Structure 1
Amino acid sequence: MLCPAHLQADWLSATILGLDGGLALSTVARAATATIHPHVVLSVLTETVSVRCGLGEPVLLDCRFWADPSSPLSAGGFAVEWRYQFRGQGRLVLAYDGKTDRLAPGPLEGAALDFAGLHAAGNASLVLQEAEARHSGTYICAVHLPHLLAQVTVELEVVEPPSLSISPSPLPLAAPGQVLSVRCEASGFTPLPLELSWEFLGADGAPAALGEASLSGHREAWDGTYSQSSLLQLDTSALGRGGGLVCVARHRGGTRRSKVALEVIGFSAPSIQDSMAMVGMALLLYGIITLAFRNITGSDGARPKEKDQ
């Protein structure tokens, strides 16, 4: 196979990453033999090296390219290919031949290119209509000219915090010393891991210590999201008159809380309101007794004076 005359040169390839991780550039340059002045023939750029989004959100993976129109290689047309890699597995997202205007779609539904922008401005950005958990991974944007290739990579992370539910809800009335089984279910989150814990706030707002809860394993749903549950054996003997029971989920997508009220009936110790009422009643009784005593004392002191007269 004969090599085209234009390829008889020194070829240089370079990849440049921005200091803040927000830009990546890949270039292919040609330098005439025995010269030190390379000339860029093809360059590919992205300003979204790392993208983070939530479930169901539209996603734009930026990729733009420039090809030297004066190069004979540009006359042969260009091709764009997006590929996806995750956990060692790779697959084609889509491929487009700009010379024949043919698109080869991959198995990833909802992936598209802006073909008008692709030909007019070299905009090869990939658009995902709705982000799913399975879309997280590494995306490779590769641009081909005849005999040349330049590519950049984009990391996409789909992050969704969990939805929480506590059962039973509402909690039943409890007696002092009774043990309640309470479950907190976290669902619809991605990625792993997740931290589940319990908090208890007394009637006065003070936190109280709780025993250890048992944690289930992760379960993966059909859409690639995960669920996990925590089971708490709640001993009410040290919880006073009750308060609020809170399930706390800490995740990369944020912290979520779900709260239910707990009421302990038949608790012997008086509340603050009860104590204040008892003090008020005692003062009232003291005042009545004091007034009655003074009246009695005054009546007894007046009788001897009448006898003396």
Structure 2
Amino acid sequence: MKVNETKYQLRDAGLQFGQPGDSPLHSELITFLVTASKVDVRRYFKGGLDTLQCELHRHRMGGTPVRWPSLGAQEHDNWFTCTLRHTEGLFVITYFLRHSPSVPNVVQPDFQQWVPVADRDTITTTAVMMVLSHTPSVEVGLMKEQTLNCEFAVDHKSAHLTVEWHLQRKGHRSKLFSYSSHTGQSEGSGVSVKAIAKGDASLKIPLTRETSEGTYVCSVHVPPISSSHSMALQLMEPPRVSLNVNSQVSLSEGELQRVDCEAAGFYPLDVHMEWLKESLTPGASRMPEVLKVVTFSNHRNNPDGTYSLTAHFLLKPTLQDSGYRYTCRVSHDALQMPIRKSFTLSVTEKDSYLWYIPPILTILGILGFLLIRRRAVPKAPKGVYGRA
């Protein structure tokens, strides 16, 4: 059995909105002329034309020709899909274009028998259905409300509209919601059936949890057309960074001090923490030294699903360490820039009078003992004198 392979050929094409018979704006390109219909794609655009990426593909409706239920449609219409993406992720739109040839085509059983499109051809089309999302990719914190946007438009009122939401997470696909206008029945939650009647099939997540992370798929089916958009939801919670010391630390030479840097309440797990030491003396090298004696705790799981981590070291300074700044630098995917928490160290000499404190304490102890003993010795009774 011979199997025909689909071959893709990339060609330059332009999208133009206007009326039938309009001349192409760029005659050297294949022009898809989108004429007016109930599905006005332009109203959903945001940003300038230089922020849009457009892909046009042929669309196969199936082996058996089906007439689209709108005025002017034919069984042997040619179909195309156009996907517009905003370069900064503001939206993604997929809409279906129907082209009615002037001469009806015979049934086309496979891709290789499609009517060819020549360079510089103008294909007059009508947009008949559109599916849009303003949230193709979302970053949100834990325990937050989040709505995943999914809108659609059809050029006629359909009695067989189906809307479904699925979540793909760690290789498992689960159905979150489904609705059929044919039966009027819905299953699951998070989507307003009343809003679907207005073309809004957005999914509301009441409180995000660790299990909310994954890829959400909104599917809209209007026979014989089906379209879907995938939306990646990623949980991001930045760390809160704190030190167990003040911004100015004074120690005597050789005094021991444990210094903790805690990064708390972050998600996901990966975080980078390091301690830096740098001199503040004018003229000294400004290149910080990364401390090698830092010890890290185990990751701690918090009740809300976030994590915490502590990086500490034991500080036993010499006089040469005085005037240095110690900085804890924390990097995480939820941060645009690392968080830095610092303290400046001041080191003093040991007090010179400390060497004679023990002798003084000894002498004071002896004097105290003698004083107590003297008070304890009984005095001789005084004599009694009288006349004989």
Whether these two folds match at TM > 0.5 is: yes
Alignment of 1:211 with 2:291, yes or no, is: yes
Structure-1 residue corresponding to 2:94: 26
Identical residues among aligned pairs (%): 27
Report the Cα offset of residue 101 of structure 1. Answer: 3.6
Q: How far off its partner does 1:135 sit?
A: 2.7
- Give the CA deviation at 1:235: 3.5
Determine whether 1:67 maps to 2:154. Answer: yes
**Where does residue 92 of structure 1 map in the other structure?**
175
State the distance in 2 between where 1:222 and 1:15 align. Answer: 45
- Separation of aligned partners in 1, 2:80 and 2:228: 11
**Paired position in structure 1 for 2:164:** 81
- Residue type at the aligned position of 2:215: T
Q: What is the TM-score when the length of structure 1 is the normalising length?
A: 0.66
Higher relative contact order (CA 8 A, sep 6+): 1
Task: Give SS of 1:236's match.
Answer: coil
CA change 1:199–1:100 in 2 (3 A) is same
Query: Which ranges of structure 1 fall in alignment gaps of 5 or more residues?
Result: 106-110, 269-309
1:299 paired residue number: none
**One-letter code aligned to 2:291:** G
RMSD: 3.9
Matches within 5 A, 1:86-235: 86-105=169-188, 112-120=190-198, 122-167=199-244, 174-199=251-276, 209=289, 211-212=291-292, 213-216=294-297, 218=299, 220-221=301-302, 223-235=304-316
SS at match of 1:116: helix
For residues 84-112 of structure 1, what are the alpha-carbon distances to aligned partners after superposition, in whole Å with 9 as ceiling and x for unaligned?
A: 2234333223222334343322xxxxx62
Task: Report the alpha carbon displacement of residue 250 of structure 1 after superposing the two structures with TM.
Answer: 1.8
Q: Could you tell me how far apart the structure 1 residues matched to 2:176 and 2:159 are?
A: 26
Q: Which amino acid aligns with 1:154?
A: M
Give the whole-Å Cα distance in 1 for the aligned partners of 2:97 and 2:225: 10
CA distance in 1, matches of 2:150, 2:275: 45
- 1:139 deviates by 1.6
Farther off after superposition, 85-94 or 242-251: 242-251
- Decide whether aligned partners of structure 1 residues 5 and 174 sit closer, same or farther in structure 2, where only a CA change above 3 A counts: closer
Higher helix share: 1
Distance (whole Å) between structure 2 residues aligned to residue 224 and residue 90 of structure 1 = 22
Deviation at 1:64, TM superposition (A): 0.6
Distance 1:13 1:235, change over 3 A: farther
**Partner AA of 1:211 in structure 2:** L
TM-score (norm 2): 0.54
Question: How far apart are 1:162 and its partner, in Å?
Answer: 0.8
Alpha carbons of structure 1 residues 134 and 237: separation in structure 2 relative to 1, 3 Å: farther
